[in-house]
Amino acid sequence: MKFNKALLLVVSLFFCVNAFAQSSKELKRKKEALQREIELAQRNLNKAASGKKLTLGQINAIKAQIRLRQEKISTINSEMKSLDHQISENTNKVHNLKGRLADLKKEYAGMIRFAQRNRNSYDKMMFIFAAKDFNQAYKRIKYLQQFGQYRKKQAAYIQGTEKQLSNQIVVLDKDLKNKGSLLKEQESEKNKLDKNRSEQTVVLNKLSKQEKQFQQDISRKRQQQASIDRQISAAIAREIAAARKKAEEEARERERLAEAKAKAENKPSPTATASKPKTASEALRATPEAAKLSDAFEANRGSLPSPVSNGYITGRFGAYKVDQATAMRNGVVFQTSEGAAVRAVFNGTVSSVFQQFGKFYIVIIHGEYFTVYEGLQSASVSKGQKVTTKQTIGVAGTSDGVPELGFQIHRGATAQNPESWLAR
């Protein structure tokens, strides 16, 4: 019974350590990913700040760096909480193992004393012959055999427990050292965050001096984006209209064939029952292939790959303020590395490729869904071409000297928030 309890303790210890190791690895991976994004943001900030004129890219890079730094500090805090919990658990396990070891040694000492009293063959024989009958004598023989085996097991288990205790103390010491390292890292990140905020203050002071020029740049960019959004909406509208027209033609063809069949069989003409698409969604899902692709796209919500392999979001979906004025963004904006490959986030067909303001814009259809890739330096796909998930479709362009990519997702004509679709 005691052996089984000890075994359960070891098994539970293994699973707790294993679960903690997985959680710790996930937090470490997240922290490393954030550090890569912070370093990329710093490189982009250096590029944007190299010019004399303040740019929106510079402001976005500083904001992104502050946000990423705060997220990294939050991850370090989670890592420390997890480590504190593990240190507490390991401390309890060390105490339990010490108590268990003391009990085992006490029990073993009792067995040794018994063995001492029956240490020679004569004593053992006398113990057996003192039995009342043959059955009791047999039981005493079995008892002596089992006692010897149990004593050996207990000795081995004491050694194992001592080793387990020693290993657990090593783990505890390692956890305490890791916590010390995390505290230093947290302090370092807080100092860097303060520095980033000071940089932001300097940039905002600079903004007040260049406000007129900055307002002109923002106004120009908003006009350009409005023109681009109109072209994207028009491209999607054309695709919806084409799908609707095709579905209606197929419905009419089904009606014509049904009528011809009824006439050939001298039956009354059937009442028109072929359904025509009422909504954009029905039109875009009219074929089995399109419906299957739509369902597959929707099933991957929250796990679609990023359109760039490394980068961070600086412009978020929806309403945002620029220079006290409210504007709307139909997607998100990534700052990425120079010459970054732009990737299709899902299987589909290129619906449209157009050029505007010296940059390329690509629209890909996925059944009733559309993905839009904005501001590319070059495009490597053409209209009607089928693409696969993560296939390179072009190279990211730049804005104010910073590598940047706009990305949108639409369900029919309705813009979606890409952050809810993309995997972190």
pLDDT value at 352 more than 90: yes
Asked whether the beta carbons of 394 and 354 are under 8 A apart, the reply is no
What residues contact residue 219 under an 8 Å CB cut-off, 6+ apart? none
Q: In this predicted model, which residue has the larger pLDDT, 3 or 38?
A: 38
Length of the chain: 424
- C-alpha 394/C-alpha 381 separation (Å) is 7
Range of lowest pLDDT (91-95, 129-133, 281-285, 286-290): 129-133
- C-alpha 114/C-alpha 105 separation (Å) is 14
At residue 162, the pLDDT reads 65
H/E element holding 396? strand 392-399
Three-state SS annotation for 259-320: HHHHHHCCCCCCCCCCCCCCCHHHHHCCCHHHHHHHHHHHHCCCCECCCECCEEEEECCEEE
What residues contact residue 278 under an 8 Å CB cut-off, 6+ apart? none
- Residue 377 — very low, low, confident or very high, per pLDDT cuts 50/70/90? very high
In this structure, how many other beta carbons lie within 10 angstroms of the beta carbon of residue 23?
A: 15
Task: Give mean pLDDT, residues 40-62.
Answer: 68
Q: Average pLDDT over the chain, rounded to whole?
A: 78
pLDDT value at 59 more than 70: yes
Q: What is the pLDDT of residues 250-303, one digit of tens each?
A: 878 877 887 777 777 777 766 655 566 678 888 899 888 999 999 999 999 999
Q: What is the pLDDT of residues 134-160, one digit of tens each?
A: 677 667 666 665 655 655 666 666 666
Q: What is the pLDDT of residues 189-218, one digit of tens each?
A: 888 888 877 777 777 666 656 666 666 777
- For the chain, count helices (H), then strands (E): 7, 12
Of the candidates 350, 336, 317, the residue with the CA atom closest to the CA atom of residue 418: 317
Of the candidates 192, 399, 216, the residue with the CA atom closest to the CA atom of residue 200: 192
What residues contact residue 363 under an 8 Å CB cut-off, 6+ apart? 232, 235, 236, 239, 350, 351, 352, 353, 370, 371, 372
Rounded to 10 degrees, what is the CA torsion of 118, 120, 121, 125? -30
3-state secondary structure of 133: coil
At residue 320, the pLDDT reads 74
pLDDT value at 44 more than 90: no
Asked whether the beta carbons of 393 and 377 are under 8 A apart, the reply is no
Task: Give mean pLDDT, residues 366-382.
Answer: 96
Task: Give mean pLDDT, residues 375-387.
Answer: 96
Chain mean position to CA 31: 12
Range of lowest pLDDT (46-50, 187-191, 296-300, 346-350): 46-50
Range of lowest pLDDT (72-76, 228-232, 318-322, 384-388): 318-322
What residues contact residue 44 under an 8 Å CB cut-off, 6+ apart? 57, 61, 335, 402, 403
The full DSSP string for 50-110 is TSSS--HHHHHHHHHHHHHHHHHHHHHHHHHHHHHHHHHHHHHHHHHHHHHHHHHHHHHHH
3-state secondary structure of 210: coil
At residue 11, the pLDDT reads 45
3-state secondary structure of 375: strand
Q: Is 87 exposed, middle or buried (0-12, 13-18, 19+ CB in 10 A)?
A: middle
- 374: DSSP letter: E
CATH number for the domain running over 300-420? 2.70.70.10
3-state secondary structure of 391: coil
Highest-pLDDT range among 38-47, 57-66, 240-249: 240-249
At residue 273, the pLDDT reads 52
pTM of the predicted model as reported, rounded to 2 decimal places? 0.64
- 340: DSSP letter: P
3-state secondary structure of 116: helix
At residue 307, the pLDDT reads 97
What is the percent of the chain where pLDDT is above 70?
68
Terminal Cα distance for the chain, rounded:
49
Query: Which residue bears the tokens 């539970």?
Result: 12
In this structure, how many other beta carbons lie within 10 angstroms of the beta carbon of residue 80?
A: 18
Amino acid letter for position 134: F
Q: Residue ranges per domain, the chain? A: 2-209, 300-420
CA angle at residue 398 from 424 to 203, to 5 degrees?
85
Range of lowest pLDDT (187-201, 383-397, 402-416): 187-201
Tokens of 182: 């995390």
